[in-house]
Amino acid sequence: MIPVLAESAAHYGTDPNEIARAGAIGQILHMMGPTSAPLWVLLGLVRTELGDFHRHALRWGIPVSLAYVPFAVVTGAISVT
């Protein structure tokens, strides 16, 4: 998906590296989604339910993802124009 988005963003003057960095920020929450196969393996190994996992993991995942955005802007990893 990232190559498609990078190609589309290039038409608007956005560097493909910025798209890749922005995509990496979203991976934190993406890997907690119900379509992630490794998550189901993990849940089976620790014998817990998806809802219990989300109650705990999203408490940390959302603030960390939101903290990455201003950090990436301040360090110049992504630009806001």
Instruction: Check residue 13 and report its DSSP letter.
Output: T
Express each pLDDT in 41-81 by its tens digit: 999 999 999 999 999 999 998 999 999 999 999 998 888 87
For residue 55, what pLDDT is reported?
92
- pTM, 2 dp: 0.68
Q: What would the mean pLDDT of 29-48 be, rounded to a whole number? A: 91
Q: Is 40 left (phi over 0), alpha (psi -120 to 50) or beta?
A: alpha
For residue 14, what pLDDT is reported?
86
